[in-house]
Chains A and B, each alone.
Chain A
């Protein structure tokens, strides 16, 4: 469903991605690991269309369509989702309102009727339970004053509501205590289905104990230096990245 071919990208004239190729099929879980600064977040932002990055060469096909010329919101409505490593705070914007707006944008795209706040309230209740969040959390401004763990859970909540075909989870496990990690993993596992692809960007093997990947990639300095099965993650845990560099 996602095909990345020899992707090069830069920011402010600094090349960051230097030839990434990667294929993800429906139903697969991929893990991307690698040292800080290797370009993992950059990859996810380039794929989702962050305007700060320039693609200098290569292709990204989503369900066969080249998406690099599409606006980020169009890509999102095609079913691409990114759980941010650092979700941004948006003061003055109501969390539930924001979520409903995103949900309705998707529905509109599919020719479905938009839902009103009452209907949405009902719909979101079960998803809230899945990430074990209190409803009053929806009444706050988007990410404003959320703890690190709350921000990450909010990202997962958004994923559950928007039901993307392909989800990038960028270090969703970082900064979570063991209980929160368990909650988040449970929610992701519940979302896993044959038509959905999931990419986990992580530093830690421990997440992969909960969400088992089909393929593990190691990224360093803007390229994928090694791919393998889940045993690769275990080897990394044992020997560190130096072993590959």
Chain B
């Protein structure tokens, strides 16, 4: 490695680092029962939701921050965060896009997510969330015709209270962990997807999260329920402006599948990851994502491309309850500069013949730390259950580190568990080989990464696969020294 190039590491600017000048209504900093009551009131929530929040809050007060993840950061002052921030809403309800602040629409357009009727993405329905509220949801009517409910969670609380009551907190209870409790207390927005029996979504669904307000937290909560024989593919994307301070993003995602249902959940996470040179700022991404395969032959598949955030701490997991149910986790986690990631999955096998696949690709560059942490658990009842895990690390340069902590817990002798792991290093000589053949460094990087990640990329909806490849290439530009 040549020191010179290492020192030369220049960074491409984070293209989504702009702030939008939008009149915003924010709750005063800090957390208390009053703040929670205020959030609940702002959202016009029924009593059961307020109860849900307060119960979680009271529990949260008894908890302390988890210290076991392999990441370090200064103590978070939870009283120094705004728990609610929303673009000032017009008095009347948003009935159509015409009621939406044009500045907001412009913001999303700049992010590559046009929402207006003329420009909206073909074949992808988008729910656009700005700070704590949903700005717009496209193709709502077309989806409803097909039987698919796709709307902001707050709207679901109003229109589908029974479903929300039944499933909210049923996969990730507020007692699950510190951040899940915090989220349950203060969550402000998120997406709700509901497919009744025998419904196949006619298009991809997608939620796009944007944090805009400095020192605000984003605590969204997503709930997807797929009843018997239904199928949906859902993608979330995220960006945030550049600030010197850190912002907390503590989301909860809950998925439920009944008999023969399938949910495919993909994430392309590109939150601002902090200043490349000083490491200042960036998002703390502390997220709890879990799916419950309740029904027989049901399937939940997580695909994640994690490229942003100062710190990522998340383990999208599957609880395989229904016999023959399938859980999948395909992950690319890339860290560069001062980023830290502790991510992986849990596959909890309960039903018979349940099957899980884990493919994790960790890419570390710069001075970053990248940890894979996984649990495969075969319960007593999990007869003939099967897991396969492939866990690969790629190191770029000499200053980064990668760890893997796979835990396997087998309580049923008829189940099988397989694990493979490799570590590779991208060398200066490899990049030079490409360049000597006339291929630019960016293309070289993208090609090598693509080769390394192809088993994960092929799981992404095609609309996003190309984008993901390019994103990784950009993130790693000039990082081989």
Q: How far is the CA of A88 from the CA of B448 in the complex (A)?
A: 13
Interface size grouping (class) on chain B: 20 to 34
Interface secondary structure of B, over-half rule: helix
Q: How far is the CA of A71 from the CA of B454 in the complex (A)?
A: 28
Partner of B438, one of A54, A77, A84: A77
B439 touches A91 (CB 8 A): no
Chain B residue at minimal CB-CB distance from A54: B4
Partner of A73, one of B3, B429, B435, B447: B435
B residues less than 8 Å from A141 (CB atoms) = 451
B451 touches A72 (CB 8 A): no
Q: How far is the CA of A48 from the CA of B437 in the complex (A)?
A: 10
Interface secondary structure of A, over-half rule: mixed
Partner of A92, one of B1, B2, B427, B452: B452
11 more contacts with CB within 8 A, not counting A54-B4, A73-B436, A93-B448, are: A49-B436, A51-B2, A71-B440, A71-B441, A73-B438, A76-B435, A88-B429, A90-B430, A98-B447, A102-B434, A105-B437
Chain B residue at minimal CB-CB distance from A89: B430
Which residues of B are in contact with A by a Cβ distance under 8 Å?
1-5, 424, 427-430, 432-441, 443, 447-448, 450-452, 454, 481
Chain B residue at minimal CB-CB distance from A80: B436
B residues less than 8 Å from A94 (CB atoms) = 451
Which residues of A are in contact with B by a Cβ distance under 8 Å?
12, 48-52, 54, 71-73, 76-77, 81-82, 84, 87-88, 90-94, 97-98, 101-102, 105-106, 109, 141-142, 158, 162
Q: How far is the CA of A21 from the CA of B435 in the complex (A)?
A: 25
Q: How far is the CA of A50 from the CA of B5 in the complex (A)?
A: 11
A residues less than 8 Å from B427 (CB atoms) = 88
Partner of A51, one of B4, B430, B447, B450: B4
Chain B residue at minimal CB-CB distance from A90: B430
Q: How far is the CA of A54 from the CA of B451 in the complex (A)?
A: 31
The listed residue with most B CB atoms (<10 A of its CB), out of A12, A77, A87, A92, is A92
Q: How far is the CA of A12 from the CA of B452 in the complex (A)?
A: 31
B432 touches A76 (CB 8 A): no
A residues less than 8 Å from B432 (CB atoms) = 50-51, 72
**Given contacts A72-B432, A92-B448, A92-B454, A105 and B2 within 8 Å (CB-CB):** no
Chain A residue at minimal CB-CB distance from B431: A51
B447 touches A101 (CB 8 A): yes
Q: How far is the CA of A164 from the CA of B441 in the complex (A)?
A: 20
Q: How far is the CA of A91 from the CA of B436 in the complex (A)?
A: 18
10 smallest CB-CB distances across A and B, nearest first, come from A92-B451, A102-B437, A72-B435, A76-B438, A73-B435, A105-B438, A52-B2, A77-B438, A93-B451, A88-B429
B2 touches A76 (CB 8 A): no
B residues less than 8 Å from A101 (CB atoms) = 439, 443, 447
Tell me the minimal C-beta distance from A111 to chain B in angstroms: 15
Q: How far is the CA of A12 from the CA of B437 in the complex (A)?
A: 25
B residues less than 8 Å from A49 (CB atoms) = 435-436
A residues less than 8 Å from B4 (CB atoms) = 51, 54
Q: How far is the CA of A71 from the CA of B442 in the complex (A)?
A: 12
B437 touches A162 (CB 8 A): yes
Q: How far is the CA of A97 from the CA of B450 in the complex (A)?
A: 12
Tell me the minimal C-beta distance from A211 to chain B in angstroms: 21
Q: How far is the CA of A71 from the CA of B2 in the complex (A)?
A: 15
Chain B residue at minimal CB-CB distance from A161: B437
A residues less than 8 Å from B438 (CB atoms) = 73, 76-77, 102, 105-106, 109, 162
Chain A residue at minimal CB-CB distance from B2: A52
Q: How far is the CA of A93 from the CA of B5 in the complex (A)?
A: 24
A residues less than 8 Å from B430 (CB atoms) = 88, 90
Tell me the minimal C-beta distance from B479 to chain A in angstroms: 13
Chain B residue at minimal CB-CB distance from A106: B438
Chain B residue at minimal CB-CB distance from A81: B436
A76 touches B436 (CB 8 A): yes
A91 touches B5 (CB 8 A): no
Tell me the minimal C-beta distance from A146 to chain B in angstroms: 13
